[in-house]
A and B are shown apart, each in its own frame.
Chain A
Amino acid sequence: MLPSMSAVSKPGPKPAPTPAAAPEANKTAAASSAPAPLDAQGSAKPESTEILSGPARIKSTPAVEGIPESFPVQALSKLEAKGIAGQTFLLDGGALRGLKLEVRRVRDGKEPGFEIAFQLTPSKLAPLLEAMKKQEAKPGPLTFRELKVGEDGVAEYGSARAQIKHSSHRAPPDSDAQDQAWVLSLEGQKGGRIEVVHERAALAVRGLVRIHLKGDDATCTKQLDGLTKELGLAPLFAPPTAKSKKVNALMHALWQADNAKAAEFSKGELDKLSVADVEAALEAAGYSKERIAGIRYEEVYSGHFAAVDPEQAKEMGKAGARYLYSTVTAPEHVHSILMHGQKSSLERYKDGLIIEGMSTNSDFGTGGAVGVFTRLVTQDSIYSEQGWTGRTYKLLQTPGQLGRTDFYGWNGDYFGKRFELDSKQNFGLGLVAAIGAGGTYKTTNELIFTAGNRPENILRVIATSEEARGKLLKFLKEKGYEPHNGLALEDFVVLSPKFLIFGEAPYDSSDLPAFLADAKQKASDGNLAPLTWFLIEGPLEGSARAELETEIILGDNAPLRTALFKAARLRGELALGAGLDAVIDALAAKGDAGKISLDQLVSSMPEALFRSQSEKAFELLDARRKTFSSHSSPFGLSDDTWVRIYRALGSASGGGAKKLFDLAIDVRAQSLAQQRHDGFLSFLASHPLVQPEDPAAFLTSEVAKLVAGEPSPRLHLYAAQKLEPEARAALESRLIEADHASTLALLRQGLDAKPELALDGPALETLFQGMAEGSAIKKYLLGQVPDVILKLGHQPLLDRLVAHHGTKLDFNQYDQERWLSVVDTLLAKSGGEITPYVRDVLERGALRLLQRSEFLERLPSLAGLYQVEDATAFISGALQEIKGRGALQLMSLLRGPPELSAHRVAVVKALLESSAHEAKHLLGRARDAGNPAQLPLSAEERRELVKVLGHEATKTAALAFFGLEGRQILLDATQDLLPVFDEVLKGDTNPLGKLDLQTNAIAEVVGLLQARTDAHGPAVADWLLRKGAKAALGANELPFIGLLTNSKATLASIGLDGASAAELIKSTINAVSYYYGSPSYADQPTYAELPAGAKWLLFQGEDHPDDAALAAVELALPAWNWTEPVLEAVMKRIPNLSEEWKARLTAARVKK
């Protein structure tokens, strides 16, 4: 029972109207690492619908709209709780962290049920664990199961599981390494099961409780009722009081404002803590009464509510915080976040999103797994032209989130460490200052927001290249995504290689003259920040910015000029626009040495001049194009900047826009076309620059120029443009027909970018027929780009390839991507039909294609790939050609269309029995392609194959099978296989290694076997414990040793006799005994105890060493050559070793 919980389960008085008069409140302590997870334990009923807010008594409404505050504990049928997220409740029985409880309907196989999850406050965790231990709850690992939504909206368990393991990095020092025993699990007497994570597990999951109920709603209600009564859980489901909600919200704010004070409150008698106590602490931290009154609950992420302090966001903004960002790579991932928001590692696991191959253990240890990670961008970092870190796309998020009271941060990569936090560096203004400390922006800063954040927080998506932006735009358009903030998609997904100039200004410029006067004064005092802000982001309305620009250009103030040049470089344009004409004239007229020169204008702000539409700017630039341009970087501008100029001028019509546009095109366009610059191609798609009235005549004249050795920029631009297929084919035809080095170069440019021809096969064949044998273009097409030819699907061209390449089955095309592209093209052309041509090409590319998971995923859909009448002959023939066509034939039987599945066992057996190296490789690929990674065999087929191979004269094939599928074979095994295992592994010094099990994995497999509901699982687990004991104890594997202790194993039960145990004790101690006597290692805890393996062998889970084990050591000791100091050191490390045993062992050491 939980005494303190049950003590408050009785009805009590309603909360008093003032904070001081709330004696019924019974707060529980929070871990210093937690965000003030305090919950008033008031006993008022939900009808106490008043909350405290200062001295006034006001009507209560639910704290968060849509989050219910009453849980139907006696009638679970009232719960909707569908979907992965289920339902969230705001409750308070004095035990729930953050007042939050989640419940969802689940289905395990066909059985319905519920899963209830919450985290307990630390003071309530210990009594619950104690109560569970008394009822013989079993220890186990913390695992999460895969979940998917079924057709009726109920979450269904899948087969995948993930276990959270120990990691010591930046974890609290009290963290328990025995991750196989982090959870206590107890079956209820009326059914149902409760799992509780203990207080020294990974920080992120401490106190996590999950209640699993199985059956219909009525059965589940009874199970919950049973567990509730058995463990005294009723207060968990009590509604919150007005006071508990208020104190919880204010404590979150205090967690940020004065973390030390919040920790102090958490340690004390919190039931004596009043709202006034917390308010006073906040006021002492500098919070005004108005600010405190403005703190409110919001659902900051779907199903997650937090207290929000809007003033904090404003305050951090004034200190220079502009926005947050996080990063992702895949467009589908961007889309998912835009639709659903981001969720933390812990939320992902709780929601059953198990991602194979992922490693997340470390940030569970640091506590960071509870939140989503972002980075803060400051105004200074934007103006100092800092760049993004991280993955391809940057999700720019509103600084409004900084009002949340459940985030913290670091000014570097601390992996989300969630303890030893300090308000001076991890929160609010202190955090902003730390990120900009020393005038240097800390690029690797991290801000961690609990649970997740809403998609509405994302204000822009940033790409850092045109290619990436184009890819994302295409994907989002295909998905029909419309930005939530009303922007056009093109304005929502923006290109910005450096930090985007974005976010609310930290200055108030509503009184513009006053602002400017002040900014100029500050600039003259050396603080350029306000003036720079105005020049970059100041209001464009009115003429103030243009006037200031004029003043600076014509003036002689060097610092102001520096600010202007920076603004022009960052913005790429001036407010002056065509007004530059007059300024340039005035500047030219001055001719004054020491003032800004026209040359300086060109070198400092070329982009702004191009985009100005000023006639004079054109003249200035045109006259200096050679002086200021290098071949690779005309006017010092990047290629992306040129595209920005084209876009700005492409649709402009005023002043000198046309001249400036033509100049810009003349300077850089051909080069961009030749490079196939993505941004430029995208611009060309909407602004075709070459549109000949008579395309045929155009091609004739321009190709003739190329052949004559003359340049043809127009043909290059034309080739780079988006053309209709007929126009593209006509261009290709002319280039091939000309058969000249210059036309080959242009053709090649196009094929390098996109390896396919618009010409059809017969047309190319006709062209080939008219060309000389030694033609360079023909040689290039057949020799260098056979995939381009294959895509045409024309047999005579395939025959030409065969003739050109001789016996080379794959035509020397080694590129897997290009083979995949050939397959895609041919199957698209044939409508998925496997024609003889398609089959021939697939077999030619088999060795490349089979390396690609995309192809293996597609293989089952290739119906009709092969007709197999005599499987034995087919397999035999395929094995003969396993280095070529046979590879596809064999893989088709393994992973191909369903009509071939009947031959899977036969082909696996044949490949295992084959001595060809390629056979094992092929099986490996077939296994790797599975999800999970297994050969496509049923458990029954797997068992049968073990038996058949195990009885063969040589064990080579059986061992190969074990090596390939060992873990799965064990997980599927039945008791009758154990003698087969013993026979195959007889005499092997590392039997489990042969079954693909390293020592550090044994414990997990044993755990899974023990969890099997049939009788075979535990029997196989016992076998595994015995077989693995020597190796795992010898390697001091803590999880394995934890299993031995939990299962009360003995030497006999794991198949060890005294002599072998003594030998193991000796070897594990010998591996570290050097350190026992070394002063350098004297203070290292690792060497203060015996190695874990030796310790278990001596104690076998008990408090005192086992006499039989000591006797075995005594017997063996004379032969160990241990020195006296070593034996002394060992005996010191054996707790509770009696004097008698010390004497006996001492005597044994010198016994002859």
Chain B
Amino acid sequence: MPLLPDTAYFVESSEDSSVMLALDAKLHDGLLEWFDTSRDRAFEVKSFEDLPDGLRVVTERASYQLRRLTIEIYEAHVRDQVTGHRPFSSTEAVQEFYRHFPR
């Protein structure tokens, strides 16, 4: 599935533990980039493949898997790593929150 606009993604990488959230993620001109809630991230892409709910991208130094952030992923992997540990009741609510996240 191509990266969707206005959608928050959960990022995983076995080589890069600095990643977690990706807002405004996009793939263009050979680059994968996103806003990680604090700063811009950008990587030159070697290859990529679509996943049912996101994208797997291989860059020079690491590979990244971006999956649409759901309430289940948020609860399991994100909530306790972000300021305020805000609870949400649904995927739509967590997506809405990050749609409005200051950037």
Please list the residues of chain A having a beta carbon within 8 angstroms of any beta carbon in chain B. Answer: 160, 162, 165, 167-170, 327-330, 333, 345, 354-363, 365-366, 373, 387, 389-391, 412-413, 415, 443-444, 851-853, 920-921, 923-925, 927-928, 932-933, 964, 967, 996, 998, 1000-1001, 1004
Contact = CB atoms under 8 A, between A and B. Distances in A.
A362 B82 CA distance: 11
14 contacts: A162-B84, A356-B86, A357-B83, A358-B101, A359-B38, A359-B81, A363-B38, A413-B43, A444-B43, A851-B92, A928-B87, A928-B88, A928-B97, A933-B86
A928 B24 contact: no
B42 A390 contact: yes
Interface string B33-59: 101111111111000000000000000
B87 A927 contact: yes
Contacts of A363: 18, 38-39
Q: Which 8 pairs from chain A and chain B are nearest by CB?
A: A924-B89, A362-B18, A356-B84, A169-B18, A169-B17, A444-B42, A390-B40, A329-B103
B33 to A, nearest CB: 5
Contacts of A924: 88-90, 93
Interface in B1-39: 16-21, 24, 29, 31, 33, 35-39
A357 B37 contact: yes
A359 B24 contact: no
Given A363-B39, A391-B24, A928 B93 contact: yes
Interface string B72-103: 00011011111111111110110011101111
A804 B33 CA distance: 47
A851 B97 CA distance: 11
B35 A998 contact: no
B24 A329 contact: yes
Contacts, number: 144
Nearest to A165: B81
Contacts of A167: 17-18
A413 B64 CA distance: 14
A971 to B, nearest CB: 11
B80 A998 contact: yes
Contact of A333 (B20, B93, B103): B103
A932 B84 CA distance: 8
Given A345-B38, A363-B38, A924-B90, A390 B83 contact: no
Contact of A996 (B61, B87, B101): B87
Contact of B93 (A165, A412, A443, A925): A925
A362 to B, nearest CB: 4
A170 B17 CA distance: 8
Contacts of A362: 17-20
A328 B21 CA distance: 17
Contacts of B96: 851-853
A851 B100 CA distance: 13
A925 B38 CA distance: 26
B100 A853 contact: yes
Nearest to B83: A162
A389 B85 contact: no
A366 B38 CA distance: 14
Given A169-B16, A170-B18, A1001-B85, A389 B42 contact: yes
Q: How large is the interface on B (under 10, 10 to 19, 20 to 34, 35 or more residues)?
A: 35 or more
B8 to A, nearest CB: 10
B18 A366 contact: yes
Contacts of A389: 31, 33, 40, 42
B97 to A, nearest CB: 6
A386 to B, nearest CB: 9
A358 B103 contact: no
A361 B81 contact: yes
A924 B71 CA distance: 12
Contacts of A391: 24, 35, 40, 103
A605 B61 CA distance: 40
Contacts of A998: 75-76, 79-80
Nearest to B21: A359
A850 to B, nearest CB: 11
A97 B82 CA distance: 29
B41 A413 contact: yes
Contacts of A967: 85, 87
A668 B43 CA distance: 37
A444 B90 contact: no
A357 B82 contact: yes
A927 B89 contact: yes
Nearest to A390: B40
Nearest to A361: B81
Given A358-B82, A362-B20, A363-B39, 10 more contacts: A333-B103, A345-B39, A356-B84, A359-B20, A362-B19, A389-B31, A443-B31, A851-B93, A996-B87, A1004-B85
A167 B102 CA distance: 23
Contacts of B61: 412
Contacts of B90: 921, 924
A914 B83 CA distance: 32
A21 to B, nearest CB: 47
Contacts of B16: 169
Contacts of B21: 359
Contacts of B88: 924, 928, 933
A358 B18 contact: no
Contacts of A923: 89
B40 A327 contact: yes
A853 to B, nearest CB: 6
A333 B102 contact: yes
Nearest to B39: A373
B89 A358 contact: no
Given A357-B83, A444-B43, A330 B17 contact: no
Contacts of A355: 37, 83, 102
A359 B42 contact: no
A443 to B, nearest CB: 6
Contacts of A358: 37-38, 82-83, 101
Given A330-B103, A357-B101, A851-B92, A444 B44 contact: yes
Contacts of B44: 412, 443-444
Contacts of B33: 389-390
B43 A160 contact: no
A932 B86 contact: yes
Nearest to A372: B39
A928 B18 contact: no
A933 B85 CA distance: 9
